[in-house]
Amino acid sequence: MKVSIKDITEENIKEIPEPCRTCLYWENPAFKQSRELSQTEKVKYEAEKATWFLKTLEEFGDCGKIIYVDSKSVGYTQYSTANRLPNIQEYGAKKLGTAKESAVFISCLYICDESFRGKGLGERLLGKVVADLRKRGFKTVETFARKDSANNPSGPVEFYLRKGFHVKEELDSDFALVRLNL
């Protein structure tokens, strides 16, 4: 199994695996996805996602990575400052990091292909994100992690706790805001 991780660029943005390629949950709350998309909607959502990435790349720098196994994209992560991810406000976190303290938010870290889960690929993706953010001088990274399920786009609380994160705020019975000081 040959594994590689690449930064998301204009050239490989269409290689973001489904369902993440059309998901705009964090970037644009108006594009909520609660059903199967038509082909026309998929094209529209992909274009909106690409626009978000290109603008965020320009203003923030690297903001996502794709993980490949034997040249097949199987997972993905995206991250940015909270102000670029408007749906964060839906979670009501009172203690969310601010740009002033150089906090970055991981909005998605997901191995989309279930046959590749549990093989350490999520850990590799997270490691690349943390290394990138440290190199760029950021002080903290945060995410909303799920307490009751590993099958979600941000990953389970236990995953992050094993990687040095701590629970910053209990949000409700399902989610916690977890943080890693870099």
Contact yes or no for 125/153 (Cβ under 8 A): no
Give the span between the Cα atoms of 54 and 62, in whole angstroms: 10
Give every CB contact of residue 6 below 8 A, 6+ residues apart in sequence.
12, 65, 66, 68
What is the residue-level pLDDT of the chain in tens, covering all 182 positions? 899 999 999 999 999 998 889 888 888 877 766 668 888 888 998 999 999 999 999 999 999 999 999 999 999 999 999 889 888 877 765 666 655 567 899 999 999 888 999 899 999 999 999 999 999 999 999 999 988 777 777 888 999 999 999 999 888 888 889 999 99
Task: Say what the pTM is.
Answer: 0.90
Task: Decide the pairing of beta strands 64-69 and 166-170.
Answer: unpaired
Which candidate, 68, 102, 88, 71, places its Cα nearest to that of 25? 88
DSSP three-state, residue 91:
helix
Reading phi first (left if > 0) and then psi (alpha if -120 to 50, else beta), residue 66 is in beta
78-92 residues labelled b (16+ CB within 10 A) or e (exposed)? bbbbbebbebbeeee
CATH superfamily, domain at 3-181: Gcn5-related N-acetyltransferase (GNAT) (3.40.630.30)
Distance CA 157, CA 165 (A): 9
Domain boundaries, the chain: 3-181
**Cis previous bond, 19, omega within 30:** yes
**32 is written with which tokens?**
């909520």
Q: Residue 53: CA atoms inside 13 Å, Cβ hemisphere, count?
A: 27
